[in-house]
Homo-oligomer: A and B are copies of this chain.
Amino acid sequence: MDVSLDNATILVTGGSGFLGRYCLQRLDKQRANVHAVSRTRNGRAADGVTWHQLDLRVPGAADELIATLRPSHLLHLAWVATPETYRDSPENVDWLEASLALLHAFGQYGGRRLVGIGSSAEYGFTEGACLEDVTAIRPLSIYGKCKAALSIATDAYANRFGFSAAWGRVFLIFGPGDSPLRLFPSLLAAIVAGKPVRLTDGRQIRDFIYISDAAGALVCLLENADANGVFNIGTGRGIAVRQAMECFADKLGARDLLQIGALPRRPDEPLSLVADMSKLERVLSWRAPTPFEIGLDAVLANAAPITRR
């Protein structure tokens, strides 16, 4: 089966999302035809991407697009991602259903290589680092459950239709261009406004991965059709949320604005979610290149000019 990217037709869903934009930057448009689906953009852009304006949840929409484009490669990123509400959103089941319709069409029309995107939320409460084929899957939120269901379904569809598939289980992404409601942008906005920030005790340990690195891992998986199954996408290094926020605030000389412990932690939030990265390193010699602090510097460098009031 020819799964090389030369003259491939790559379809990226969720192309205008946070990860989608970084993935599109990294795809080689000289080598492959790159198409992207978005609910907002349309037409051929200067960046060499052909955009298709489409809501994949509309019955028949995925089938029609796939029948027309016949993509050889699919990077399926589209999902509900609204900060604060996506975890328990009813839209998660709509995206699960839309994703199965998309995978079905992709297989039916000769698709050869698929990369889907999951989340550390698929693991739930864990002991120690999360290991792809060992750590139990016990998601707590509707989001984590729908992603976990799709992860297993992806494997079934790959068998059924004979395409190769990888599932990138992404840990906590951050970087320039993130939604204003997410951790660092909201922290930055508050600090710039000189407002105190009410926070939990921040004892949660998380694996923060720089957005451009996560996109690199996904593109690397798309290009390597022999890499099948689930792959964690993280750094392998756990950082306490408190430490991460203090590090960020220190760069702005604003640690005094952090009100650590002012809010309770969610009881359904795992204390630790850290990737064991040995599988991706073994299979594709891939390691996240960007240290956490360099990532934070990039967030600040790309933010609007900052003057603390």
Partner of A156, one of B133, B137, B145, B156: B145
- Interface stretch (choices A147-155, A169-177, A295-303): A147-155
Say whether A90 contacts B149, CB under 8 Å: no
A142-B156, A159-B145 given; A134·B136 CB < 8 A: yes
Chain A 114-145 per-residue mask, 1 if CB under 8 angstroms from chain B, else 0? 00000000000000000001101111001001
B93 touches A156 (CB 8 A): yes
A286 part of interface (Cβ distance < 8 Å): no
Q: Render A61-85 as a binary contact track against B, CB cut-off 8 A, 1 for contact.
A: 0000000000000000000000000
- Please, which residues of chain B bring their CB within 8 A of the CB of A152? 137, 139, 145, 148-149, 152
Tell me whether A157 is interfacial, beta carbon within 8 Å: yes
Interface residue A146 (Cβ < 8 Å from any Cβ of B) = yes
Q: How far is the CB of A2 from chain B (nearest CB, A)?
A: 23
Majority secondary structure, A binding face: helix
From B100, B133, B145, B160, give the contact of A100 (CB < 8 A). B100
- CB of B156 within 8 A of CB of A149, answer yes
Question: Can you list 19 A-B pairs with a CB-CB distance of less than 8 A?
Answer: A88-B159, A92-B156, A93-B100, A93-B104, A93-B156, A93-B160, A96-B153, A97-B97, A100-B100, A133-B138, A134-B136, A136-B136, A137-B152, A142-B160, A145-B153, A145-B159, A146-B156, A149-B152, A152-B152
